[in-house]
Amino acid sequence: MSATIRLTAATAVAAAVLSALATSPAAAAAPALRMTPVSGHLTSHHLVGGIRNSTSSNWAGYAATGTTFTSVSASWVQPAVSCTSATTYSSFWVGIDGDGSSSVEQTGTEADCSSGRAVYSSWYEMYPAYPVNYSNTVSAGDHFTATVSRSGSTYTLTLSDTTKGWTKTTTKTQSGLSNASAEVIAEAPSSSTGVLPLSNFGTANFTSATANGQAIGNFTPDKINMASGSTTKATTSSLSGGENFSVTYNHS
Q: How is the chain split into domains, by residue range? A: 4-42+64-217
Residue 19 pLDDT > 90, yes or no?
no
Nearest CA among 214, 244, 236 for reference residue 54 = 236
pTM for the structure as a whole: 0.84
Q: Is 183 a catalytic residue?
A: no
Mean pLDDT over residues 21-43, rounded? 33
pLDDT in tens, 164-220: 999 999 999 999 999 999 999 999 888 778 888 999 999 999 999 999 999 999 999
Q: What CATH number was assigned to the domain covering residues 4-42+64-217?
A: 2.60.120.700
Task: State how far the Cα of 127 lies from the Cα of 251, in Å rounded to an integer.
Answer: 28
16 by DSSP, 3-state: which?
Answer: helix
Q: What is the mean pLDDT of the chain?
A: 82
Q: Which residue type does 153 have?
A: S
Q: What is the DSSP string of 163-197?
A: TTTEEEEEEEE--S----EEEEEEE--EETTEEPP
| Active-site position among 105, 110, 187, 243 | 187
The band of 49, judged by pLDDT with boundaries at 50, 70 and 90, is low
Quote the pLDDT of residue 104.
Answer: 87
Tell me the mean pLDDT in the region 78-93: 95
Question: For 166-199, b where at least 16 C-beta lie within 10 A, e where not — what string?
Answer: eebebeeeeeebebbbbbbbbbbbbbeeebbbbb
Which segments of the chain does DSSP mark as H helices, in order? 8-22
Which residue, 120, 98, 74, is CA-closest to 8? 98
Q: What was the pLDDT predicted at 54?
A: 86
Per-residue pLDDT at 43 exceeds 70: no
More confident residue, 43 or 112: 112
Q: What is the pLDDT of residues 114-167, one digit of tens each?
A: 989 999 999 998 877 777 899 999 999 999 999 999 999 999 999 999 999 999
Q: Identify the three-state secondary structure at position 236.
A: strand
